[in-house]
Structure 1
């Protein structure tokens, strides 16, 4: 029943998004519709919680008269409770349903919506939840011409969105809390798949996300903390929590893009994560790390591939990079992210990061860093080659590196070549459950498997000058079947005889009909 409702909700939300966005790019419309869905979530959650508080007094939140002393007294009491438990508050007149009804009646509601969103943020000032709500709705500019050329046109569009969303029952109670959160993630993924590289940067495909999450929880299912230095919309953090056997897991992340940073915080709240259990920050992780002194049980990331960064020599004085003696190139920050993640990993933790294949074999500074991680630190535990074209916006082949500071298999590194195991999709290739399970089975067995996995010794790695290019270790070459010339010659003779027999039959047939044979038949 839950799954059926979830599928129906996903369908409704996507249809609304697809119908209303018109000529606006998916990347632009995303911020509006996801922001307004979040407003409805906060509204329904507040209304339900307040009704529970007021039930024994015979009140319902929506019917409280805000303009009377008694009503105000009740609201003040409700506000204190909701700020402690939900982290925010707004008045009955600001509920989503009330504003949607005004829009449906043809009223101008743009100013009302803007005020409500501001009030939500202002309600948290001085509360513990303030940081998690600060600037949360900054990207919802309801005066933007992207929504329409005139205020009337913009008002009509926003009213339509609110009316459609108001007609959806999000079922927020009890165990179904994640239904809306998962549907919200579904929308994020749909926007990413339809918007190319820019949007794809903030979303990791579900099966890759699931693989990363399983890799970092295999040895420690009760992880207490998970960190993503390029957290995007936060889906990867949430995925790790699903795989972990700890209801009190804490989430940490950093995201450079302001709108995506807001999306990540919304995504946390929509999945029922209490504001005290997540710490998402907005800034450039490599240049301004905001969790520098923290260490985490699980570290995961899908950083932007071969991104630019400053590569300033000053970084060599930083604890994250100093030990290596060299910095990742200015135009390829891949190993800078790896070094940063290693720094944030605790001694018994596991990190898994998605990177372009080039990190496996590129030389110069990258080769130096790679060798240091393997030979001097012995942190590299696994190299997993993924299929090409499984990420939105790029078709390049990718891999996953798994690193641990304390490894059980300290004398070897496991290589897995999963590049040929996928389903071909319309725009992107797709990793299936069976492909994921094949990888995980190989990880658990940790033994060589013909044309799929190889356990490389430290000597193997040294003999290859610490080049990790997977074909050096996993031989997937398929020999072509040798041609039996004698067999082919015999087949040709047999074919000729058959053709001659056919010719005779035709000649006899022509003779019987009393017509000339169209060609000469030789015995």
Structure 2
């Protein structure tokens, strides 16, 4: 554990040092700082991963003093044989592309150009594995020409030297060797300054790890292999990572869609850090609702925390076409006369997810709690179909302010095409958690014990007073398809046995108090009337 914490501390120091370099060259809080930090961090990781895997394949290289020179001195055929023996998901680097080589040659002229050329070559060589595709199939670049973000060309060499010096200070290699599971902590620290709600049209929200863990642990209750996991609004991938950890990274493939380039970049880095490099080609930057890349594919597990409200009026009418009618069977929200940004786009994501489930598929979707009780409209049609089809496994209503960035109360909808329709779990966890302050916002935080309680009660299909009920699809139909646990809780009246004499005494006491109150009221009426008669106009 001490070694684990040591690695975490050193890695956080690296991130802070890279941010310090950006600040020293005028890029602190600049829009390009995000690109520089994430791309340099990715370069560092690919460098160290390559070194680690090569040393495993050829152990004698772990003993040499100058690793990059040892690679450089290898006959070309030997080098090609070594690289080709590596797993297909391992990055391919040349000796002159290693950080150690750049470090040893940083005082040469035009170092910024050497640095940019190195990253460009790595990007081209590794595009098939590490690039993100758009809806059209175009692939992004792994790395930009980072020196170009420094407007003063005379400072570019120094800027690139500063970055390389920070990257050279320590290695990830020991972390790969020990297989420490610390990357979730590192990733959260890395993105904390870059994953806030910017207020734009496609604002991104960070799903709390507690919610992600609960969703994964309820969805995956037994070992599975070779499954396909999907998130149609993936963001930086918190939900997908929790799901993959629950299943086992080696037992699943990740698929995702998201309209945000920033989120897609973060998700790529998250996959690399969490041993899911093989799934990077499945990350698609697209508008899932208007241009779904995976429209005709089905998935075993789907997780999603979709945007709740968003103006999609510019492509709303296109969704009425025949190509989309089956997918949006319950309807498409209309464009309001005012507040277009209030359009309930999450209703389209729910329908898209239902369309995308395999024959035995499971899904967990974060929805506004108002969805589970709406008396009519698209919401009611969706709930009705889920119940009639036998796809509803249950619902967990979360505490308020579980998300720091939104005050909307949320629930998690659990779907399962093989669900037990006689034992549907409805849970009201709104009273759990502790309120903490995060900056200007207040957020409710669940303890690990409360997380376990939610998971265990739900998976055991257990009815717990004031927390959960277990109902049948027929009972839900009787309640107008409400998914709110509170509407199914029993109203308990406590009875106390008393004698006839005690009952009469209590009744006499009530009568005496009422007579006294009536008398006081009559006296007060007389006093008010007397005061009114004394009023005079000056």
Range into which the TM-score falls when normalised by the shorter chain: 0.7 to 0.9
Give the aligned partner of residue 4 of structure 1: 5
Give the aligned partner of residue 390 of structure 2: 378
Of 207, 217, 220, which residue of structure 2 is paired with 1:217? 220
Q: Does 1:440 align with 2:455?
A: yes
State the distance in 2 between where 1:363 and 1:142 align.
Answer: 57
Write the deviation string for residues 46-73 of structure 1: whole angstroms up to 9, x where unpaired: 223334445559976511585x8x7545
Q: Does 1:284 align with 2:287?
A: yes
State the distance in 1 between where 2:396 and 2:32 align.
Answer: 35
State the distance in 2 between where 1:431 and 1:16 align.
Answer: 32
Task: Give, in angstroms, the shift of residue 450 of structure 1.
Answer: 1.8
Give the aligned partner of residue 402 of structure 1: 414
Task: Give, in angstroms, the shift of residue 120 of structure 1.
Answer: 1.3
Q: Indicate how the Cα distance of structure 1 residues 202 and 76 shifts in structure 2: closer, same or farther if over 3 A, else same.
A: farther
Of 373, 390, 402, which residue of structure 2 is paired with 1:390? 402
Task: Give, in angstroms, the shift of residue 302 of structure 1.
Answer: 1.3
State the distance in 2 between where 1:417 and 1:170 align.
Answer: 43
Does the CA-based 8 Å contact 1:328-1:334 persist in structure 2? no
Q: Indicate how the Cα distance of structure 1 residues 272 and 212 shifts in structure 2: closer, same or farther if over 3 A, else same.
A: same
Q: Does 1:62 align with 2:63?
A: no
Give the aligned partner of residue 381 of structure 2: 369
Give the aligned partner of residue 242 of structure 1: 245
Of 191, 194, 199, which residue of structure 1 is paired with 2:193? 191
Give the aligned partner of residue 182 of structure 1: 184
Q: Does 1:49 align with 2:60?
A: no
Task: Give, in angstroms, the shift of residue 239 of structure 1.
Answer: 1.4
Write the deviation string for residues 418-471 of structure 1: whole angstroms up to 9, x where unpaired: 122112222133222122112112202323322211224434433432243454
Give the aligned partner of residue 353 of structure 1: 365
Does the CA-based 8 Å contact 1:387-1:397 persist in structure 2? yes
**SS of equivalent residue, structure 2 residue 118:** helix
State the distance in 1 between where 2:491 and 2:35 align.
Answer: 44
Task: Give, in angstroms, the shift of residue 336 of structure 1.
Answer: 1.0
**SS of equivalent residue, structure 1 residue 447:** coil
Write the deviation string for residues 388-447 of structure 1: whole angstroms up to 9, x where unpaired: 223242222111000111212x13532211122112222133222122112112202323
Of 25, 29, 33, which residue of structure 2 is paired with 1:25? 29
Does the CA-based 8 Å contact 1:411-1:457 persist in structure 2? yes
Task: Give, in angstroms, the shift of residue 321 of structure 1.
Answer: 3.8
Q: Does 1:327 align with 2:332?
A: yes
Give the aligned partner of residue 317 of structure 2: 312
State the distance in 2 between where 1:209 and 1:117 align.
Answer: 34
Give the aligned partner of residue 351 of structure 2: 339
**SS of equivalent residue, structure 2 residue 427:** strand
State the distance in 1 between where 2:18 and 2:286 align.
Answer: 29
Task: Give, in angstroms, the shift of residue 108 of structure 1.
Answer: 5.2
Q: Does 1:201 align with 2:204?
A: yes
State the distance in 1 between where 2:56 and 2:327 align.
Answer: 55
Give the aligned partner of residue 433 of structure 2: 422
Task: Give, in angstroms, the shift of residue 248 of structure 1.
Answer: 2.8
State the distance in 2 between where 1:340 and 1:284 align.
Answer: 12
Q: So what's the TM-score if we normalise by structure 2? A: 0.76
Task: Give, in angstroms, the shift of residue 214 of structure 1.
Answer: 0.9
- Name which of structure 1's ranges 135-144 and 190-199 shifts more when overlaid on structure 2: 190-199
Does the CA-based 8 Å contact 1:315-1:321 persist in structure 2? no
Q: Indicate how the Cα distance of structure 1 residues 351 and 325 shifts in structure 2: closer, same or farther if over 3 A, else same.
A: closer
Write the deviation string for residues 282-329 of structure 1: whole angstroms up to 9, x where unpaired: 111111222223222211111122233333364463467457252245
Q: So what's the TM-score if we normalise by structure 1? A: 0.78
Aligned residue runs from structure 1 range 153-192, under 5 A? 153=155, 155-172=157-174, 174-177=176-179, 179=181, 181-191=183-193
Task: Give, in angstroms, the shift of residue 230 of structure 1.
Answer: 1.4
Cα RMSD after superposing both structures:
3.7
State the distance in 2 between where 1:360 and 1:449 align.
Answer: 20
State the distance in 1 between where 2:233 and 2:196 align.
Answer: 21
**SS of equivalent residue, structure 1 residue 312:** helix
State the distance in 2 between where 1:271 and 1:225 align.
Answer: 17
**SS of equivalent residue, structure 1 residue 311:** helix
Does the CA-based 8 Å contact 2:290-2:319 persist in structure 1? no
Q: Indicate how the Cα distance of structure 1 residues 152 and 86 shifts in structure 2: closer, same or farther if over 3 A, else same.
A: farther
Q: Indicate how the Cα distance of structure 1 residues 119 and 476 shifts in structure 2: closer, same or farther if over 3 A, else same.
A: farther
State the distance in 2 between where 1:345 and 1:322 align.
Answer: 12
**SS of equivalent residue, structure 2 residue 419:** coil
**SS of equivalent residue, structure 2 residue 456:** helix
Q: Indicate how the Cα distance of structure 1 residues 168 and 124 shifts in structure 2: closer, same or farther if over 3 A, else same.
A: closer
**SS of equivalent residue, structure 1 residue 289:** coil
Q: Does 1:92 align with 2:107?
A: no
Number of equivalent positions? 472
**SS of equivalent residue, structure 1 residue 343:** helix
Structure 1: where are the runs of 5+ without partners?
480-485, 487-523
Write the deviation string for residues 188-246 of structure 1: whole angstroms up to 9, x where unpaired: 45235767667982632211111111121025655622111112222322211211157
Q: Does 1:272 align with 2:275?
A: yes
State the distance in 2 between where 1:355 and 1:335 align.
Answer: 9
Does the CA-based 8 Å contact 1:255-1:283 persist in structure 2? yes
